[in-house]
Amino acid sequence: MCGRMATTLPHDAMAQMFAATPANDLPPVPNYNVCPTVQVATVTADEGLRRLRPMRWGFIPHWYKKPNDGPLLINARAETIAEKPAFRSAARERRCLIPVSGFYEWTKTPDDARLPWYITRADGAPLVFAGVWQDWDKGDEPLTTCAIVTTGANETMGQVHHRMPVILSPDDWPLWLGEAGKGAARLMVAAPENALVFHRVDPAVNSNRATGPDLIAPISH
């Protein structure tokens, strides 16, 4: 799964990377502790136009009467996304890219202490997750919400967690966004071995209130 992220890439760099028109209300960067329910930058495509736009991380199904009417859906499992009522329409019609600098996962010690790890691409490039999105309009203000698509971890990532986000290469972006026809389902697989690297970081990140670049700095273990 993926439950916490870091985003450090400036908005203009993201817009250039995706050839996308940026919105005026993108979330501030850098943010070294992106938590569920906050706004994240995403990329969508509509009739040939890519947009870099904010969405609430935490997908709200259309039948929720309020945002917390049910489970917080921050991830969508690739294995069931096409059948789950919450996600199946979005999987067909509303896919997005979610660019981040890295993400966190946790392992546990025998005494149940939570040890955080920070995961990035081995080549230093931004990570681009497969996402799905949905508009929800039953509250005082409409919300555009998203979830990250996850799949079973590859062997490398399996040392930290049994699942991982679906990570897309630039060649995959047009297909996932619906610009290159059908067949996006074949992209929902684990990243190649050795595509990711990870290191232990300070348990300070266990708090969703923690901030600053020290959160991603390696520590000895």
Q: Dig out the tokens for 58 from the structure.
A: 């935490």
Backbone angles phi, psi at 147, to 5 degrees: -140, 150
Catalytic positions: 2, 105
Neighbouring-strand partners of residue 39? 56
Cβ neighbours of residue 112 closer than 8 Å, sequence gap 6 or more = none
3-state secondary structure of 81: coil
Strands (E) in 87-209, as ranges, are: 95-100, 102-108, 114-121, 127-136, 143-152, 163-165, 196-200
